[in-house]
Structure formats: C-alpha cells, structure tokens
C-alpha cells in the first residue's frame, strides 16, 4: 500500500523504549505507540532503515534526520518516527548512541 502526503496512516501498534534524559544509561520499559491514537490530528514523519548499527544507516540515514529534526519540526511536524527490522531494545541502544 502506497501512502501519500495527507493519507491516514494504517492502524497498527509499534513498540519502543522511551528515552529518559535523566537516566540515559537505563533501559526503560517498552511502551506501545498506537498509530490510531498517537498519530490522531498530528503531522508525522515516518522513515525506515534496514537495520540499526549497520554502517550506512548509522553513518548516513539516521544522522540526517537527527541533524534536521528541528528544521522538520519547524515545518509543523509533531512526531518523527524511525522504524527498523530490529527489536525495540536494539533501537533504544542505537538511538542513545546517535543522539
């Protein structure tokens, strides 16, 4: 299914581990992001990468979004979501490494 700008995102649940700036070394408890509820009324950018800790994703894909996060949000985006084939604990560790 191709998604165009302005389309409603398909309903699904994504698991993630929220980042805690006060305790960055602690691995938090997994949470559920419910696209129907958590994307409702929001402008969301979703991008996917083949895998965390892969050379190209770590050097090129993710850093571009991290570096441009403020500019993206300045265009009215409420949430930036990265998805990958990895589990949420791996993505949590990768995210901490690439803040």
* Annotated catalytic residue 57: yes
Residue 50 to residue 37: CA distance in whole angstroms: 26
Give residues with Cβ within 8 angstroms of 71, minimum separation 6: none
Q: Which of 17, 49, 57, 62 is catalytic?
A: 57
Rg (CA), the chain: 14
Catalytic residues: 57
């Amino acid at each position: 299914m191709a998604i165009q700008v302005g389309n409603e995102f398909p309903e699904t649940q994504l698991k993630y581990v929220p980042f805690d700036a006060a305790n960055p070394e602690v691995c938090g408890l997994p949470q559920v992001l419910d696209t129907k509820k958590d994307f409702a009324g929001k402008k969301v950018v979703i991008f996917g990468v083949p895998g965390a800790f892969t050379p190209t994703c770590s050097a090129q894909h993710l850093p571009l979004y991290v570096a441009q996060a403020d500019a993206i949000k300045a265009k009215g985006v409420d949430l930036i979501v990265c998805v990958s084939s990895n589990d949420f604990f791996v993505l949590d560790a990768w995210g901490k490494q690439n803040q």
